[in-house]
Amino acid sequence: MQLYNKLSAKEREALLEEAGEDRLTLSFYAYAKIGNPELFRNHLFIAWDQMDVLGRIYVAHEGINAQLSVPAKRFAEFKAFIDDIYFLENVRLNIAIEHDIKSFLKLKVKVRKKIVADGLNDDTFDVTNKGVHVDAAKFNELINDPNTILVDMRNHYESEIGHFQGAITPDVDTFRDSLDIIEEDLKEHKEDKNLVMYCTGGIRCEKASAYYKHRGFKNVFQLEGGIIEYTRQVEKQKLENKFIGKNFVFDHRRAERISEDVIAQCHQCGKPCDTHVNCANEACHLLFIQCEECAEKMNNCCSDDCKEIAALPYEEQKALRKGKGASNKIFKKGRSEVLRFKH
């Protein structure tokens, strides 16, 4: 019984290119009480591996958070499978705006303490007492109201390339960092303002809205399905699109373009650009924004030091990395002293 990947990312990439079949990139989440997350994890892996489903899935006692790439021809089979799981029946699937057959190259199903790292003690408040979920039309109406404060619940490198007009975009590295900062900044408006929040697909707002209600905010709203579902509804219903730029996504696509606006800049030269890349030096792997000209000049690296290392033979690079832990830069996405236009 196979419970883990046996193919490398490169081997899987070659197979996907050879097959050339359409795949759907999608995500979903559900809060539910799972008694044995490890057993549930194995159940998912066995079934999805047989369907050639790829992706990153977190399972915990509190539920599931899944980002997937599903073969288009097996979508009905996949949907039937999750509908047979009582707490996933008819769960909302956030289908990507832009698809790529290589959005994920492995199937990773991991057991975690939480499906989103929020740093909260769930025993101290009612996590089911959430904010009001609103669709795209109501969301537009709310954010046009001068009595509304709109907050982006994502990280700095996400909102940097795209966000809703007029939104507060906290300069934070993680979701857990944003919760206290937002409360402190808005503490004078707990009763007299609408607190409207959004994120990529909705999961971060589920817990955040309940937390802020617990902390005394009276009028709390969240965008149902996040930016992904908002974009779908805007296109289908011909609504005004209030989102500018790109929606950052956590797969190999890195982003989906929502509007033609380019609101970010190359972190190396300052030219308008909103393309995220990872430094070609695998010991660094820093996520940053790089234009085509700088990519060519720097050989896809973030600094001259990394450029020199990346030019070495692969075995020499491996020798340099041997015995060293992963660089903190990997986790400090989009921040480094070597980036002239982003620190």
Instruction: Point out the residues that are catalytic.
Output: 199
Report whether 131 contacts 220 (CB < 8 A).
yes
Q: Residues 334, 335, 338, CA angle at the centre, nearest 5°?
A: 110
For 22, phi and psi rounded to 5 degrees?
Answer: -65, 140
Tokens matching residue 223: 């965008």
Contacts of 76 (CB under 8 A, 6+ apart): none
> 64 pairs with which residues across the strands?
30, 59
Distance of alpha carbon 39 from alpha carbon 50, whole angstroms: 17
Host H or E run for residue 56: strand 54-60
Distances (CA, A) of 340 to 143, 160, 289, 298, 310: 34, 16, 11, 14, 20
